[in-house]
Amino acid sequence: MNKFNADAHKTGEDISSDAYKEPFFSIDSQRIASYDDRLAELEMENSRLHRLVAELLIKNQQLRKRD
């Protein structure tokens, strides 16, 4: 027959770890905050690039009209 290890069956109350001291949602909220910050940063960079492309298109049109 199989031997039963009584120590193998531990509940969450029996386990002492630093992981249980912080709220579960703190890690996820940090990830969401950093994701939101990165998203805002990328949106600003995207807008800047759109303006740059528009300016270059206008300059290109102006140069072509001179010929």
Q: What is the pLDDT of residue 29?
A: 81
What is the rounded distance in angstroms from the CA atom of residue 37 to the CA atom of residue 44? 11
**pLDDT tens-digit series, residues 19-64:** 555 555 566 788 888 999 999 999 999 999 999 999 999 999 999 9
Q: What is the pLDDT of residue 24?
A: 55
Amino acid, res. 10: K
Contact 20, 12 (CB under 8 A): yes
pLDDT band at residue 67 using 50, 70 and 90 as cut-offs: low
